Amino acid sequence: MGLPLLLLFHLVWVSSDLLSLHGDRGIIPWELADLLRDPWVPGLPTLTKAFLPLGIGVHTAIILLLSAYAGSLLALALGFYPRVSAFLAWGLHLSLLSSGAASFYGVDQLANTFLFYLLVFPSGRAWTFTSLPASARREETIPVSCLRVMQFHLCVIYLAAGLDKAMGRQWWNGEAIWQTVSQPIFSTFDLSWLARPSWIPMFAGWSTLLVEIGYAFLVWPRSTRKVWCIVTVGLHLGIGLFMGLVFFSSVMILLTVCFFLIPEAVPERAAA
């Protein structure tokens, strides 16, 4: 229920600009957005065409589709017809991703990935508001094999992100941190003073590499799991605080907590 609720919150957060980002007459009109997207994945332009025979115009169709997306996320969070809700949420998220390709960033891809898992795995059995009789409690889990697939995928994400960073000099000499927190779009505080004690950004860069690369190895042993989850959550709190990437950080914290911290506390149970 966590991911659909976060996506719903995000949808409300950007709702006043949804038509600018995804509408047929948005900042990038559909005729141009079509040049950037995979023609095999149906975007909003394709879906709105289905409404035309019903006499529903493009603008109204977009509003209906966005409302259906919001409704499916809410239904998925509540565990209401989870498979159907997950299918709608994933399909409409993918359409938005496809037609809004010019403006999406990493977190949208991650959301697509884990919505797909909510669709193919029996997610509706765990952590929803649907009450189950006591006899069905054993069913209120997702199979361990499904959990392992998602855990492995999350480890690949961190390992790839860490190794790709480690190949750049900027992450070793602190310039990556300096450049990031100095960009107007990410800057939440004036951190120009960091140029003088340059060991601070260097330490932050090394710490980022250690946490991301170490994640794939140290989140599995029981003795280091809790510590590594806590430092990973700390990394994302830092990203949220100093770069303003609150939505991205929230999603990443949710994934680590759901895949590694909660299953440890409740064996063979997972939430997503």
Partner 1 sequence: MKRLLLVGAFSCHLALVVAGALHLTSRLPGFAGRGARFYDELSGAGDSYSFFAPAVGPQLRARFTLSPPRGERSEETLETGKTREVGFRVGNLAGTVYIAAKRADLRRAFLGALAANRLGAHPEADHVQVDIEDWVMPTMAEYRLGARPRWRSLHDATFVRRSSPP
Give the one residue of 54, 134, 167, 265 binding partner 1; rule: CB under 8 A: 167
Q: Is 260 in the site for partner 1 (CB under 8 A)?
A: no
At 190, give phi and psi (nearest 5°): -80, 105
Question: Residues 101 to 130: which contact partner 1 by CB under 8 A?
Answer: 101-106, 109-110, 112-114, 116
Across 219-244, b (16+ Cβ under 10 Å) vs e yields: beeeeebeebbebbbebbeebbebbe
SS3 for 261? helix
Give the one residue of 245, 251, 270, 271 binding partner 1; rule: CB under 8 A: 245
CB 62 within 8 A of CB 46: no
How far is it, in rounded angstroms, from Cα 113 to Cα 97? Answer: 12
Q: Is 198 in the site for partner 1 (CB under 8 A)?
A: yes
Which residues are CB-neighbours of 211 under 8 A, at least 6 positions away?
A: 162, 228, 231, 232, 235
Strand locations in the chain, DSSP E?
none
Contacting range for partner 1; rule: CB under 8 A; set: 57-65, 77-85, 181-189, 254-262: 181-189
For residue 260, the 8-state DSSP code is: I
Our CA angle for 26, 29, 33, nearest 5°, is 120
How far is it, in rounded angstroms, from Cα 190 to Cα 113? Answer: 35
Place of tokens 């310039």: 175
> Closer to partner 1 at the Cβ: 60 or 188?
188
Question: Residues 48 to 87: which contact partner 1 by CB under 8 A?
Answer: none
Binding mask 201-240 for partner 1 (x = CB under 8 A): x---------------------------------------
Binding mask 142-161 for partner 1 (x = CB under 8 A): ---x---x--xx--xxxxxx
Q: Is 246 in the site for partner 1 (CB under 8 A)?
A: yes
Contacting range for partner 1; rule: CB under 8 A; set: 70-78, 99-107, 124-132, 259-267: 99-107
At closest approach, how far in Å is the CB of 245 from partner 1? 7
CB 176 within 8 A of CB 167: no
Contacting range for partner 1; rule: CB under 8 A; set: 23-31, 64-72, 76-84, 225-233: 23-31
Which residues bind to partner 1, rule: CB under 8 A? 10, 13-14, 17, 20-21, 26-29, 32, 35-36, 38, 40-41, 94, 98, 100-106, 109-110, 112-114, 116, 145, 149, 152-153, 156-161, 164-165, 167-171, 174-176, 178-180, 182-186, 192, 194-196, 198, 201, 244-247
